[in-house]
Amino acid sequence: MLKIESKTGIANGNQETVYNYVSDFRNFSHMLPADRLSNMEVTSDVIRFDISGLGTVGLKIAEKKPYTQLVITGTEDSAADFTFWLNIATISDNRSQVNLTLQANLNMFMEIMAKGPLQQFTNLIIDKLSTMEFNK
């Protein structure tokens, strides 16, 4: 099983505001690298897209732990079996700490191929959260 920890970031918003933003995939989709994806379909709880060479990836919100954690899993038609944990912790009234953990059940070959891009992906999400202004 592949496990990836993103870097830790600081979001410019309180824990509740950041959580409310990311817990709606219609907002979350803006953090994905659109230039690498095609055929994106988005609802508040499910997002599907095609990645060249990997196929269709579907994400669904599996569990919401208000203001602290969002658990995201693959949909039944997804090309991979994985779970993301997006964690949000309070730093101050208008700043939150964010990090992302990914576990994927991949065969050894796919694990070797996917590890680098998945690490980049998790860090990209944290970078985007760290540059957004949630307090406006």
Name the CATH superfamily housing domain 2-131.
START domain (3.30.530.20)
Q: Whole-angstrom Cα distance, residue 57 to residue 80?
A: 7
Q: What is the pTM of this model?
A: 0.88
State what percent of residues in the chain have pLDDT above 90.
Answer: 64
130: pLDDT strictly greater than 80: yes
Domain ranges of the chain: 2-131
- Tell me the pLDDT tens digit for each residue of 76-90: 887 678 999 999 999
126 vs 111, higher pLDDT:
126
- Tell me the pLDDT tens digit for each residue of 11-36: 999 999 999 999 999 987 778 777 77
Q: What is the DSSP string of 83-120?
A: EEEEEEEEEETTEEEEEEEEEEE--HHHHHHHHHHHHH
